[in-house]
Structure 1
Amino acid sequence: MNDPGNPAPGALEAVRGFVDTHDIYNGRDELADVEAATEWLTAEGLWGKGRSMTGRELSALHELRDALRAMAAANTLGEQPPRAAVDSFNDLAAPHAASVRLDVRNGSGPMTASLRPHEEGIGGVVAVLAAAVHEAVLLGTWTRLKSCDNPECRWLFYDESRNRAARWCSMRGCGSIVKARRYRDRQRRSAGHAP
């Protein structure tokens, strides 16, 4: 049902937004082709205006998006992410460096630190998203980024529930659909085994 819910904290929201460019439920993909991907990334401030993208770079973005969704789906189930998804993420992120950037606010407040990419284009996009995942893992927010457990949706959402047990992007939408489907399946199975 694609309920955007609450935004993920900090840079993790960029990861959620990136993965949700593929709206499975409604059959839309903001990264469907080079032109669409360039437009979306430029609008998000991740791609320089006038910069071109290759088909190979687009394929890397799709691979990264799939790996991130698979890792978030593991969070939904409280499991370790699939080794293939982690390896794919690591392979994509490895060649693209980022460095620590410290900032001091004028007046008062603590010093902040962030990871900034060394390059533009695809390397910069991958580095920004990898840095956001890195930060979320360190802060303990990564496991709250989940993929809707409705296989027809798989929308990423940030789980703010106290017990961290949310499984659907929307309880009223996808949660109701999945629970009703499971109930009907149980009824059919028990009717088939009735004496």
Structure 2
Amino acid sequence: MSERSPAPGGLALIESLVNTVDLESGADSLDTEEGRARFGLTEDALPAARQLRESLRATLLAHAGHPPHRPVTPLGELLAAAPLVITVGPADGAAAFAPVEDGSLLSRVAAAVAEAVTAGTWSRLKACEAADCHWAYYDRSPAGRGRWCSMQVCGARAKMRRYRANAAGQKGSETNKKGS
């Protein structure tokens, strides 16, 4: 779980939604009234919100170069049900994407994705490489090749596992040399 600052713009909504479940413990904040209220959800809307969350997670894993952790409905199929319009401010002429639908979570996510694609930030929103984490984070690294939500937690664990595996492999090869 990340100590990073929130993603910019509308990506913060997506990051926040994906991070409503802790894969390691199984705790899901959407199970609470407070957690649902953060996204304007009713209990009836939970199945669709969870489906959207896992489709987003699969997409964020793809941004990081990883396969989804389980089969999901493709995000594009879900977002197709949330058409957007382009609004233009009368005072300043600023253009923005806005949901056609009245503020549903799906429509707000679709607008956030469209905004991020336009800004060139969409592919920087990723899911952590750690299989027991997959926490969403915004990759602020200069090259855009971040792999973990937290270098201090998930990154350190991965490096320690790799170190131990290498050490065990070297020990095994030394044993084989002595036996020859």
| Bucket of the pairwise TM-score, normalised by the shorter protein | 0.7 to 0.9
**CA contact under 8 A between 1:24 and 1:154: conserved in structure 2?**
yes
Corresponding position of 1:62: 50
Deviations, residues 101-124 of structure 1 (Å, cap 9, x unaligned): 33356xxx662423124135xxx1
Task: Map 1:117-156; keep pairs closer than 5 Å.
Answer: 117-119=100-102, 124-156=104-136
User: Structure 2 length as normaliser, TM-score?
Assistant: 0.82
Residue 92 of structure 1: which of 57, 74, 78 is its match? 78
> Which runs of 5 or more residues in structure 2 are unaligned?
none
Cα distance change on mapping 1:42 and 1:111 into 2, 3 Å: same
Question: Please, which of 142, 147, 166 is the counterpart of residue 162 of structure 1?
Answer: 142
Residue number in structure 1 paired with 2:171: 191
Q: Which amino acid aligns with 2:88?
A: L
Q: Which residue of 2 aligns with 1:31?
A: 30
Q: Does the 8 Å CA contact 1:75/1:81 hold for their aligned counterparts? A: no
User: Which structure is larger by alpha-carbon Rg, 1 or 2?
Assistant: 2
The aligned amino acid for 1:74 is A
1:80 deviates by 8.8
Task: Measure, in 1, the Cα distance between the counterparts of 2:68 and 2:95.
Answer: 30
Show CA shifts across 1:143-162 (max 9, x none).
11111112121111111111
2:17 corresponds to = 18
- Percent identity among equivalent residues? 32
Query: Number of aligned pairs?
Result: 174
**5+ unaligned residues in a row in structure 1: which ranges?**
none
8 Å Cα contact 1:63-1:88 kept in structure 2: no
Q: Which moved more, 1:145-154 or 1:13-22?
A: 145-154
Q: Is the aligned partner of 1:43 residue 2:38?
A: yes
Q: Does residue 181 of structure 1 match 2:161? A: yes
Query: Cα gap change, 1:174/1:162 in structure 2, threshold over 3 Å: closer, same or farther?
Result: same
1:72 aligns with 2:60: yes
Query: Normalising to structure 1: TM-score of the pair?
Result: 0.77
Q: Flag the 1:75–1:183 CA change in 2: closer, same or farther, 3 A.
A: same
Q: Tell me the CA shift for residue 81 of structure 1.
A: 7.9
Distance 1:112 1:138, change over 3 A: closer
Counterpart residue type for residue 133 of structure 1: V
- Cα distance change on mapping 1:7 and 1:104 into 2, 3 Å: farther
Q: Is the 8 A contact 1:117 1:128 kept in 2?
A: no
Once residues 87 and 3 of structure 2 are traced to their aligned partners in structure 1, the CA distance between those partners, rounded to angstroms, is 30
Q: 1:141, 1:81 → 2: CA distance?
A: 21
State how far apart, in whole Å, the 1-side matches of 2:8 and 2:90 are: 21
